[in-house]
Structure 1
Amino acid sequence: MRPKVNIVTIGVTSLERAFEFYRVLFALPDERISAGPDHVAFFLDDDLSFVLLTMENLAATAGQGEARAGTAQVILSHTASSREEVDEVLAEAVRAGGAIHLPAIESEWGYAGYFADTEGNIWEVLAAAGGETVN
């Protein structure tokens, strides 16, 4: 895998508080911020997105049920160019000693699966819906 991390997602206890903090810290114009009921995305330079999710939503996204001690607090997302590449990267992670955390499935965002490295850190591998670029 030649890693291309375009999205870093962190868990927060207060989406509103974290949004205000990062809005001031990053000083980005509104057109470079996207917010929904469960997330806020900041579109940084060089095709990097920094996403805030509540701890509960991050735990659910990472397939960990409810948020508790030991729940993932960061998800690194590797963007793939196709469904096939997603499957190849997941298989490569297993060959390297990792484990499939969640098998790849279709969602509103595209085709994605999750693997855990040998230390339990969670990676998302995503091919965007409709072949769009994810940033």
Structure 2
Amino acid sequence: MKVKSIYVNLPIKDIDKTKEFWTNLGFSFDEQFSDDKALCLVLNEGLIYAMLITHEFFGTFTNRPIADGSTTQVLTAIEVESREEVDNIVKLAIENGATRYKDSSDHEWMYYDSFSDLDGHQWEVMFTDPSLIPNP
């Protein structure tokens, strides 16, 4: 079995603020799948997307309560090309209204930092160098 692509669906409170936040971090949206109820955040063109959906519209997809940003149901981790890119994305996120929920961590072969976006979704941004992974 092979998955063609992935769409992570997350509830949001404000379309305009969410779009501005992610644009300020340097990300773009697939306008074909974006409207006044949802944004299709492009994480890796053709492979990985986050559907950022208003609470009202998100509620039409589930019969369970929607997380309000005060609980953790998922940690979304994204890998980038360098340590500097990790630091830059987290810095931009915080400058644009995100909050830090834990300090960065350096394991030599893996470096990551974290933030909670405007809706309380937790994101981990990481860089790995497989050549530095210790042998078991």
TM tier, shorter chain? 0.3 to 0.5
TM-score scaled to structure 2, two decimals? Answer: 0.43
TM-score scaled to structure 1, two decimals? Answer: 0.44
